[in-house]
Chain A
């Protein structure tokens, strides 16, 4: 009887202990998993994603046509502009002499929108013009070529992207003449019409 009781006790204890150890093991596994995930996230934040900014090249970048849409990115110590599948055009960051930020308001829709507005009767197209404008950032890069000739390249970017690109350029060693505290943002458009 006694033996049976002991056996029953032992068995029950063994049954009771098994789940406890399994839970402990699972907890250990989960904590390890969480720790490794956290480490991965930490590593990701330490190495930032490569900067690719969709932009329109307005003018001035050597060997790139005006009003070309493409992507601005960094490759090594150079800033490069790539239009579609064409070969990228690069400028060394060390050759950038200054960076200027600005903003511009531009009418959206292009020629189809202009024609559409013209077709609206009773001058209704003018009313559409009031709302068919979008604000963009402009960034002007002053850089020198291999002969020392000065270039001024102007890019049109989505709002707030100009600041991101400028900060990245500064972080990578581009020269900026204006002090950090000074606002470099300059308005190039949509200023009330006035003589200066």
Chain B
């Protein structure tokens, strides 16, 4: 009876290992399929990033431009769009399937790097923005509220980096309609 115990334990361990070995490929395949499907739809779009609108928030120009520049960088890194264009870029006129990314600051908490370093728990710099992906005619196809903050280490401008990364991540994870669908919808509206 005692000799059976290690054998049954060994069988149980082997079973668990076999199950683990069998499942990850399925999960990987699912995620890969999901990625390819989302990428294929969004890869046809190009995006133009508008300048950051500070709204009613008293936000320094350096912060506004830091958010703008970092969103551009992060969107390029995602490789979800054919082209990532800047605000005012004349090449956007020739791009047929163009989305416009509008960013409006909703809330800003100016922190302090010194306070963060001394207390750890206070002095966080926080940003909250509303991002909208619109078509040329103003049809909003994606709208999200995104946060970015720096709580422990780093300068205040690091909050813009975290925010831009979250914006890019949100856009990457959301499924966008294909340009043709959007065009037909626009045609139906017209």
Task: Report which A residues bind B (CB closer than 8 A).
Answer: 58-60, 98, 100, 102, 104-107, 114, 117, 126-127, 129-130, 132-133, 138, 140, 142, 144-145, 147-154, 186-196
Q: Find chain B residues with CB under 8 A from A147 CB.
A: 86, 89-91
B141 at the interface (CB under 8 A from A): no
Known: A186-B61, A196-B108. A105 touches B114 (CB 8 A): yes
Q: Find chain A residues with CB under 8 A from B102 CB.
A: none
When chains A and B are docked, how far (Å) is the Cα of A196 from the Cα of B60? Answer: 12
Judging by beta carbons under 8 Å apart, are A154 and B65 in contact?
Answer: yes
Interface of B is mostly: mixed
Q: Find chain B residues with CB under 8 A from A195 CB.
A: 107, 109
Task: Report which B residues bind A (CB closer than 8 A).
Answer: 51, 57-58, 60-66, 68-70, 85-91, 107-115, 117-120, 122-124, 153, 155-157
Judging by beta carbons under 8 Å apart, are A140 and B114 in contact?
Answer: no
Judging by beta carbons under 8 Å apart, are B60 and A187 in contact?
Answer: yes
When chains A and B are docked, how far (Å) is the Cα of A194 from the Cα of B57? Answer: 12
Known: A102-B62, A193-B112, A195-B107. A148 touches B70 (CB 8 A): no
Q: Find chain A residues with CB under 8 A from B88 CB.
A: 144, 148-150
When chains A and B are docked, how far (Å) is the Cα of A36 from the Cα of B60? Answer: 51
Known: A126-B117, A130-B114, A194-B109. A188 touches B89 (CB 8 A): no
User: Closest CB of chain A to B106's CB: distance in Å?
Assistant: 10
Judging by beta carbons under 8 Å apart, are A189 and B109 in contact?
Answer: no
- Given A60-B69, A148-B88, A195-B109, 12 new contacts (CB under 8 A): A104-B155, A126-B120, A140-B62, A142-B65, A147-B91, A148-B90, A186-B60, A188-B63, A189-B113, A194-B109, A196-B58, A196-B107
When chains A and B are docked, how far (Å) is the Cα of A193 from the Cα of B65? Answer: 21
Judging by beta carbons under 8 Å apart, are A189 and B155 in contact?
Answer: yes
Known: A100-B62, A193-B124. A59 touches B70 (CB 8 A): yes
Judging by beta carbons under 8 Å apart, are B113 and A106 in contact?
Answer: yes
Q: Find chain A residues with CB under 8 A from B60 CB.
A: 100, 102, 186-188
- For residue A192, which residue of chain B has the nearest CB? B112
Judging by beta carbons under 8 Å apart, are A149 and B114 in contact?
Answer: no
Residue of A102, A151, A188 most packed against chain B (CB within 10 A): A188
Q: Find chain B residues with CB under 8 A from A186 CB.
A: 60-62
User: Closest CB of chain A to B72's CB: distance in Å?
Assistant: 9
When chains A and B are docked, how far (Å) is the Cα of A196 from the Cα of B108? Answer: 6
When chains A and B are docked, how far (Å) is the Cα of A110 from the Cα of B122? Answer: 21
Q: Find chain A residues with CB under 8 A from B61 CB.
A: 98, 100, 102, 140, 142, 152, 186
A-B contacts, 14 listed (Cβ < 8 Å) = A59-B70, A102-B60, A104-B155, A105-B114, A140-B65, A150-B68, A151-B86, A187-B60, A188-B157, A190-B114, A192-B112, A193-B112, A196-B108, A196-B110
Q: Find chain A residues with CB under 8 A from B118 CB.
A: 126-127, 129-130
User: Closest CB of chain A to B136's CB: distance in Å?
Assistant: 17
When chains A and B are docked, how far (Å) is the Cα of A152 from the Cα of B72? Answer: 11
Q: Find chain B residues with CB under 8 A from A133 CB.
A: 113-114
